[in-house]
């Protein structure tokens, strides 16, 4: 083998080694690198869940309309009134509707349970005064049972000036039970042109009839 041939063989071997080294380097650079497994990213947004709320409101307490109850002798607030005007009497006054009526003019009484309204008409040449009514009440004091009070004053009602006496006394015994109660009494004296009309309103002591008695006495009208 000639020198030229040996040189060619060495060059071929070197070139082959170089090619193998390049191929090996390329193979190492292209090899896949192990990667850590990643958990999939959550795509859900922030939780919007709200605490559970009952859709049904608490059951409301049952409301029942209890019938109106009044203490003994109290006239109900829803009491209706009707006009009483005796023929030729020259006046009218409202009294509670449905109350029982006894007597005829000149003296009529309307009653219901424990309350009463007595209407008396009489001729009187002069108007009553506090002094004349005190004398009247003084006489009553000697005949009435368990009488107390007896204040007399002049007040105003829609019909004009009126003399009022207030006192307490026993009512007549109950016709069924025989029980006797003590009444509060208001006695109004209306006068005009020689005619005196006396309204006596009575009810059990302590009953709250201020408004009903005011309705009655404010309704008094002279018609002649």
What pLDDT score does 174 carry?
A: 82
What pLDDT score does 45 carry?
A: 46
Q: Where are the domains of the chain?
A: 98-222
Q: Please report, for residues 4, 15, 97, the alpha-carbon distance to residue 7 in angstroms, rounded to integers and kept in the order given.
A: 5, 12, 150
Task: State which H helix or E strand residue 133 sits in.
Answer: helix 130-143
**Residues 6+ away with beta carbon under 8 Å from 78:** 68
Dihedral of the CA atoms 89, 93, 99, 105 (nearest 10)? -10
The candidate with the shortest Cα–Cα distance to 96, out of 113, 104, 86, is: 113
May I ask the CATH architecture of the domain 98-222?
A: 3-Layer(aba) Sandwich (3.40)
∠ CA 149-154-155, rounded to 5°: 105
Q: What is the per-residue pLDDT across 113-145, written as a single tens digit (0 to 9) for each? A: 899 999 999 999 999 999 999 999 999 999 999
Q: For 136-139, which contacts have Cβ atoms below 8 Å and span 24 or more sequence positions? A: 136/165, 137/165, 137/167, 137/187
What pLDDT score does 178 carry?
A: 85
- Rounded to two decimals, the pTM is 0.68
**Residue 75 CA from chain centroid, whole number:** 19
What pLDDT score does 186 carry?
A: 98
What pLDDT score does 114 carry?
A: 93
**Residues 6+ away with beta carbon under 8 Å from 102:** 108, 109, 111
Contact predicate 213/201, CB 8 Å: yes
What pLDDT score does 72 carry?
A: 79
Regions of the chain with pLDDT less than 70: 1-71
What pLDDT score does 79 carry?
A: 97
Dihedral of the CA atoms 196, 222, 103, 206 (nearest 10)? -80
**Residues 6+ away with beta carbon under 8 Å from 184:** 166, 168, 202, 203, 204, 205, 206, 207
What pLDDT score does 176 carry?
A: 82
């Amino acid at each position: 083998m000639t020198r030229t041939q040996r040189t060619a063989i060495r060059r071929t071997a070197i070139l082959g080694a170089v090619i193998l080294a390049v191929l090996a380097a390329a193979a190492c650079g292209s090899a896949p690198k192990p990667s850590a497994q990643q958990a999939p990213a959550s795509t859900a947004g922030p939780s919007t869940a709200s605490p559970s709320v009952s859709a049904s409101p608490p059951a409301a307490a049952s409301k029942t309309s209890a019938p109106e109850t009044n203490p003994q002798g109290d006239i109900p607030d829803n009491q209706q009134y009707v006009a009483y005007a005796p023929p030729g009497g020259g006046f009218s006054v409202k009294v509670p509707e449905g109350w029982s009526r006894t007597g005829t003019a000149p003296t009529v009484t309307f009653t219901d349970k424990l309350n009463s309204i007595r209407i008396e008409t009489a001729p009187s040449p002069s108007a009553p005064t506090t002094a004349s009514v005190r004398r009247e009440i003084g006489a009553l004091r000697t005949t009435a049972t368990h009488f107390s009070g007896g204040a007399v004053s002049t007040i105003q009602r829609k019909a004009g000036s009126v003399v009022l006496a207030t006192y307490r006394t026993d009512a007549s015994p109950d016709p069924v039970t025989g029980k006797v109660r003590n009444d509060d009494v208001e006695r109004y004296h209306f006068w005009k042109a020689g005619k005196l009309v006396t309204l006596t309103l009575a009810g059990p002591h302590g009953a709250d009839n201020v408004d009903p008695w005011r309705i009655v006495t404010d309704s008094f009208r002279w018609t002649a």
